[in-house]
Copies of this chain bind each other. A is one copy, B any other.
């Protein structure tokens, strides 16, 4: 037997109105907590809604111009733990506020971008949270014109006019470096991430500032280029070792590369942390599993999703938020990959 066809058992606002002996409009006002209904009637209608388990049709709401109670989340991918945690933050927060999620992955493809526009055009979402690498100015302009609230995650822009939630990479790197210094390390190597990555640059800046703040001279020979991959970290570390420039610690601009670095060191017979201390960045799951467990900088990923959602929801509700740029703090996770020289 095939699945049954629509039975149209669905409750509409009309039904509720009839049950309460009032007009659709009155029910609608109750539904949206708008004035113009006596407290007594309001309560009565609310009870009926509750009893019948009635849920207003979002499509109709969207059409009629009111809130759909859906927010759209645009994200490159879901299989990456990083994004998965963002989703979780967004999802939990929006759910708490009775909002549902429209997930939208771009996989970095240009084509997908245009479809996001379709999503907006579909009056299916009340607002947008966007996290993507390929964001172009004209896309931002489009959004602005569309009049739909939106907030970007991890999109460092100079545009003072848009809401963003960004991790404070620089301070995170600063603190991690200071930690190494506090352990007595002065000859610290730095593994750069992908060239184009702004977060890699921010981390490098933090690293530099910490050296300067502690009057340690910066040694350009101890910088190696990587690409954020495990393999990249491995190769970078091998090149580093071949230079025969002395160092007692490595600050890798992400965990994947740090893991690669550990392997490269082990291969050369060097022990972590006895011979070389290592600090990573990101606190990916693997960082706690490898041997030794990696000291690293945790990004407040979940909090980013949460914060972005909170901002968006306030925006949707017409609140005015003075601050547009939110910098979220990182946290240093101390494990056993660093040794004190003192």
Contact = CB atoms under 8 A, between A and B. Distances in A.
Interface in A26-84: 53, 55-60, 62-63, 68, 70, 73, 77-79, 81, 84
A315 B286 CA distance: 40
* Copies of this chain, tallied across the complex: 2
Nearest to A284: B285
Contacts of A9: 145-146
Contacts of A10: 121
A304 to B, nearest CB: 14
Contact of A84 (B3, B79, B315): B79
B5 A57 contact: no
A243 interface: no
A229 interface: no
Contacts of A91: 78, 103, 105
Nearest to A57: B122
Given A101-B103, A103-B103, A290-B289, A55 B87 contact: no
B123 A57 contact: yes
A103 B122 contact: no
A117 B5 contact: no
B121 A11 contact: yes
A291 to B, nearest CB: 6
Nearest to A11: B121
A124 interface: yes
A88 interface: yes
B78 A81 contact: no
A95 interface: yes
A122 B3 contact: no
B84 A95 contact: no
8 contacts: A6-B147, A7-B145, A57-B121, A58-B59, A60-B123, A78-B84, A78-B88, A285-B285
Given A59-B124, A289-B290, 19 more contacts: A3-B149, A3-B315, A4-B147, A5-B147, A7-B147, A10-B121, A57-B63, A58-B59, A58-B122, A58-B123, A59-B63, A60-B123, A73-B103, A78-B78, A81-B84, A87-B103, A92-B105, A103-B103, A289-B289
